[in-house]
Amino acid sequence: MKAYATKLIDLTERKAGDMAKRWAADVKKNHRTPSYHGLPEDRMIEQAISFYTNFRQMFFTENPYDTAKAFFTKYAEARYREKIPLQEALYALILMRRHMWLYAEFQATFITSIEQQQAAESLNRTILMFDYATYQITEKYQELISRDVDRKLGAVKTIMMEGAGGGKKGAFKAGLMGVLLLIACVLTYYYHATLGKGVIFTHLFYIPIILASIWWRKKGVLVALFLGVLIILSHAFFLEGAPLNDDIVRAVMFVVIGFVVARLMEGLKKVEDLYKTLST
Amino acid sequence: MKAYATKLIDLTESHAEKIAGQWARDVKTNVKTPSYRGVSDEKIILQAAEFYRHFREMFFHDAPYEQAEKFFEGYTEERYREGIPLHEAVYALILMRRHIWLYAEFQAIFITAMEHRQAVESLSRTILMFDYAMYVITRKYRDLMKLEWFEPPNT
């Protein structure tokens, strides 16, 4: 295989700087690569030179998939860090390939019929390499996006207590909720029946309400409902004569907050599932 | 441009079902496209046959980008709805292109020096179309992943 492609490879290596400059000028004004327009030219030329000088190795290797992977995984990571969207990173790479061929055509590298055959073979090999590159870059981007989503949801996921040990964690959640609701009942009785007033203690109810909505989403709203009914009934039994309006507002707020948190959690779960499904 | 590529286009169109069948077998066993394994043969073959039947239109169109955009946005929406990961949808499409050429090679339609020249030109045009396809598919996937209140990180 070495013989047929030597011309293209030699040219690409020898003229890497020229090709890289032409590519950078193109990508900086191409309407499909707007994220590159603001990048410093030197840095862009550097990435194209890196590709063109690694081209020989990728072209002639016995194991093109693995060799391409080593190079293009780094390419994907670097573009991702620079916040280049996937479609632009891929298109910029496509332009890199095109500039190689444009330059070869401009230099009239493939003229005779034998050279035309060589051109077809070189083209096939280059395309194979780029097929792998497209797949590897896309896969890497999906992996990086998924990792980013995981990281951004990290704190919430810790509170959600999901993942390995599902059964044990489920029992722990139910147990903890039981204890919190028991404390809520005791507090309600103590404040309403013993002290005869219904003040600040109800703010503590938001802890089980929010936790229940995070853990069980819509079903968790039942906890808010239970606590709302608890303070209204307790008020009716132990605080006769005192106006009930405040506790009705509190009960309604419990349910509203529980419902809002549950909806948010459903949204987050949807996002997480979407990224898991589409990137694995 | 029409003259040089007629052979490839005619072959692809007239053997669309056959090429699609070969592609389907490949995609169902390829390690890079595991999500296609559980999909029925019929459904898979249909998507490739549809692409092969549209091949002439995309190939000869005066505005290849717009034509590719029209076709591949639909392709992306369908794969997205089926829950196919982006990198697999992209690789399946690469295999679709390869199977056109594998079939053409198998039928030995490019033999003489003139035909080799035609092969290079057909290949270049096909690659251009697929370059656009890759751009359109990855951009469309990003749009589809963008939920009303959630901006996907750097897609």
Which H or E run contains A155?
Answer: helix A154-160
Domain containing B26 equals 2-145
Of B80, B113, B142, which has the smallest distance from its Cβ to A116's Cβ? Answer: B113
How many structural domains is chain B composed of? 1
Residues of B in contact with A126 (CB under 8 A): none
CA nearest to B138, candidates A44, A93, A127, A28 = A93
Both A165 and A252 in one domain: the answer is yes
pLDDT in tens, chain A (280 residues): 555 567 778 888 888 899 999 999 999 999 999 999 999 999 999 999 998 888 888 888 888 888 889 999 999 999 999 999 999 999 999 999 999 888 877 666 666 666 666 777 777 788 888 999 999 999 999 889 888 877 877 777 777 777 655 667 788 899 999 999 999 999 999 988 888 877 778 889 999 999 999 999 999 999 999 999 999 999 998 888 788 888 899 999 999 999 999 998 888 877 777 666 666 5
Question: At residue B150, what are phi and psi to the nearest 5 degrees?
Answer: -130, 120
Residue A6 distance to chain B (closest CA, Å)? 18
A146 and A167 inside one domain: no
B123 interfacial to chain A (CB closer than 8 Å): yes
Residues A65 and A20 in one domain: yes
Same domain, A86 and A137: yes
Question: B55 vs chain A: nearest CA distance in angstroms?
Answer: 19
Angle at A101 (CA atoms; ends A97, A103), nearest 5 degrees: 115
Which residue among B83, B87, B123 sits closest to A142, beta carbon to beta carbon? B87
Q: Is residue B154 part of a domain?
A: no
- Report the alpha-carbon distance of residue B4 to residue B12 in Å, rounded: 14
Q: How many domains does chain A have?
A: 2
ipTM: 0.84
In a domain, B155, yes or no: no
Residue B150 touches chain A, beta carbons under 8 Å: yes
**Phi and psi, residue B154, nearest 5°:** 55, 45
Q: Which residues of B touch A120 (CB under 8 A)?
A: 116, 119-120, 123
My answer on whether A223 and A240 are in the same domain is yes
Of A84, A85, A120, the CB nearest to B116: A120
A147 lies in the same domain as A192: no
User: What number of other Cβ atoms are within 10 A of residue A249's Cβ?
Assistant: 10
Residue-number span of the structural domain to which A245 is assigned = 155-279
CA A15 to chain centre: 38
Residue B151, domain member (yes or no): no
Same domain, A49 and A138: yes
CATH of the domain at B108: 1.10.490.10
Domain assignment of residue B152, yes or no: no
Beta bridge partners, B150, equal: B147
Establish if A112 touches chain B: CB-CB under 8 angstroms. no
Examine residue B112 and state whether it is found in any structural domain, yes or no.
yes
Please indicate, yes or no, whether residues A198 and A255 belong to a single structural domain of this protein.
yes
Same domain, A159 and A148: no
Contacts of B133 in chain A (CB under 8 A): none
**How close is the nearest chain B Cα to the Cα of A262, in Å?**
16
Co-location of A74 and A103 in the same domain: yes
Mark whether A29 and A45 lie in a shared domain: yes
Confidence grade of residue B148 (pLDDT, cut at 50, 70, 90) = very low
Query: Which residues neighbour A161 within 8 Å (Cβ) at sequence distance 6 or greater?
Result: A169, A172, A173, A215
| Domain limit, last residue, from A94, A123, A152 | A152
Cβ burial, residue B50 (10 Å; 0-12/13-18/19+): middle
Residue B153 covered by a domain: no
What's this model's pTM, rounded to 2 decimal places?
0.76
**pLDDT tens, position by position, A175-231:** 999 999 999 999 999 988 888 877 778 889 999 999 999 999 999 999 999 999 999
Closest CA to B17 of B37, B46, B39, B43: B46
CB neighbourhood size of A171 (10 A): 11
Amino acid found at A49:
I
Residues of B in contact with A278 (CB under 8 A): 80, 83, 85-86, 141, 145
Q: Which of A118, A152, A186 is the last residue of a domain?
A: A152
CATH number at residue A104: 1.10.490
